[in-house]
Structure 1
């Protein structure tokens, strides 16, 4: 994995405010809040992760706005 590649991608909000969550190339679903992203991370094996981890980590490539951007 290159330094510019991140294993977790959060895509821009869609018309409903949902953001697709991709981990290691697999779309896990749509998140509507940082809490939803944390739940996806927990399901992917990062059981210790919470909303603060999601907001602070450099492993996530936030596209179309950071963890505070959920409107289309």
Structure 2
């Protein structure tokens, strides 16, 4: 199985999730909109369709689409 290209890391203590694309840190996301903006910046204009596709996006720790600190 191929590794997902986009990793949304576990929520951090202050809230938000680090997002990496192909191993490069793109920023800290506080909403799905932030993640989508990062993906648009790397040339994925239809990123909405990718957020729940495990081939593209891996959500680590916590529930997908939740950005609050645990």
**Alignment partners' CA distance in 1, 2:43 and 2:63:** 23
Structure with more of its chain in strand, by fraction: 2
RMSD: 1.5
Gaps of 5+ in 2: none
TM-score (norm 1): 0.81
TM-score (norm 2): 0.83
Runs of 4+ in structure 1 displaced over 3 angstroms?
none
SS at match of 1:65: coil
Total equivalences in the alignment: 68
